[in-house]
Structures are given as C-alpha cells and as structure tokens.
Amino acid sequence: MICGAIGLEQKYRFGDVNILIRTDFDYEDDELCVRFRCNFETPDFIYDFITVDELPKLPETPIFSDFRVVVYKKDGVIYRVFPHQDDASRAVISDEHIAVGRITVYVKRMIPQHIKSELRLFNYLAIEHVMMLSKGAMFHSSFISCGGQAILFTAPSQTGKSTQAELWRKHRGAKIINGDRSLIKITDGVATAFSLPYCGSSGICENYSAPIRAIVVLRQAPYNRVSRPTSAQAFAYLLEGCSVNLWYSKDTEIVCDILAQIMQRVPVYLLECLPDSNAVETLAGVLGC
C-alpha cells in the first residue's frame, strides 16, 4: 500500500465536538460546510484522509451490508467500505485508533474523480458513530427554532417533516435550521438540538443550537390531532429516527441512554395532521407558543 503525505488541514465543530480533517489532496470549499469551520487548540477527533494505490485487504464475508456501505471486522478493527458495487470501492474507513480519537480514511488515488468538495468529503466521516462516542445521537428530523427553542419534527421520509417546518415558518415566524438532520444530546443538563452539515434534499442548514421544546412525531391523516404516546411508543418513535450502527453494540446502549434522558426533559407528541395552517394552530395550542 503506497500512501501519500498528509498536507492540508481544516477544523470544524459539529455540535460541541471539535473535528480536525487532514488530507493529502485538494478539494473545493462548500458553502454549507464552511459554516461549521471554527478555531480550536485541541481536537476531539482527527480524520486522516490518505490516498493509496490499493485499499486494505479485508475478509470475504462482511458483518453488515446495505445499499450504502459494507462493513467488515478484521483483528478487532471495524472497516467501512464505500461504495461496494463489485470492485468499485473508493474509500475505506478504519477505526483502528478511534479509542484515541483518530480515524483513517483510505481513498483510491482516483480521488479527484469522486471527492471534489467538502460536502463529498463529509460523506466519508461515519459521523453518526463519532457523535455517539460524544454522547450525542444523529436524529432524522426537521429542526425549527421558535422563540429561541427547538421543535423537532420526525417521521419517515416523504411523510411531511419539511412541509410542517415550512408551515411553521410561514404562519408562526419560525426559522428552519435544518431540513433533515439534527444532533440531540444532553448539554449541561439541558436537552439540546444542534444542526449538522447534513440536510438531505432540503438544502436547508444553519449552524445553530437551541434547547429542545418538543419532539413531534408526524403521521399523515385526514384531520389534525395532537396526542401523547405512551413512554414505550415515544421511545420506539425516537429510536426509529436515530442513526445507530448495529455493529457497535455500545452505540445501542448509548443511544438508549440518550433517549431516556431526553424523554425525562422533553415532551414527545404525536401529530396526526393535514398539510395546512390548522395543523400549526393545533400543535401551537398544545405547546403554548
């Protein structure tokens, strides 16, 4: 394996986690990613992107596979391969030194062909695991700020998260912080939502954080109604919205602890609704805002 030398450095903060990315290749700035740059003395995690002629040799049988990634375990080290169609693998993430905050990303020397910007670079951070190690969960949700507090709308894709967020912007003057993802964690005893530089197809992403006022589970219906699910139902809804690596058993333990703490501090509502202003009024009346 022939490696290049690390040359370029850039610093970011995701939530309250300091991340240093080092590469041996150039890439273009991305407006969205630039918002998360910052200065700090000590990183919590360091990513080394290294171009190689050959990617690490891995076992024949993966421990996990889906359309996004194939995961292998070798000598106790977890490797993620992106993508995995035939022999078209382009990058491999190794967590060999993650216990000391170091992640190595091996990329084929054809790198300029598929990582041309910061945004593409961020696809290779395996950030949900790093956030979990920092006691935070990556949560599938539309994040709005209303009166300085966060309201998170969560639901399966195409269920109306972005629609409800836009309705709140239009009718209640809320600010849409992120159209698809948030980081949820307990910070100084407060359940807090942070935006992340991942926003799906919404394209809406601001670098902002706020205490969580409520988490709202959406379901489409021919009427507008708010209810409180049972604790077990609420936990299941929230867990469904979290990005969890099943091949890391401790991640499952961590996310369950995070959600338990959040549910002690934040109400979870079920909003069965239409895509109209009455849905906003119905929920606002319950939230008192």
Predicted local confidence at residue 159, as pLDDT? 80
Predicted local confidence at residue 202, as pLDDT? 83
Domain ranges of the chain: 8-125, 137-287
Picking from 146, 170, 142, the residue whose alpha carbon sits closest to that of residue 158 is: 142
Q: Which residues of the chain have pLDDT under 70?
A: 1-7, 83-89, 110-114
Is 137-287 a domain of CATH 3.90.228.20?
A: yes
Predicted local confidence at residue 4, as pLDDT? 42
Predicted local confidence at residue 2, as pLDDT? 37
Q: Name residue 95's amino acid.
A: D
Predicted local confidence at residue 157, as pLDDT? 79
Predicted local confidence at residue 113, as pLDDT? 57
pTM to 2 decimal places? 0.92
283 in helix, strand or coil? helix
Q: What percent of the chain has pLDDT over 90?
A: 79
Hey, what long-range contacts does 25-28 have (CB within 8 A, 24 or more apart)? 25/49, 25/51, 25/111, 25/112, 25/115, 27/115, 27/116, 27/117, 27/118, 27/120, 27/121, 28/116, 28/117, 28/118
C-alpha span between 214 and 234 (Å, rounded): 12
Q: Are 212 and 152 in contact (CB under 8 A)?
A: yes
Mean pLDDT across the chain, nearest whole number?
92
Which phi-psi region, left, alpha or beta, contains residue 119 (left: φ > 0; alpha: ψ -120 to 50)?
A: alpha
Q: Are 21 and 121 in contact (CB under 8 A)?
A: yes
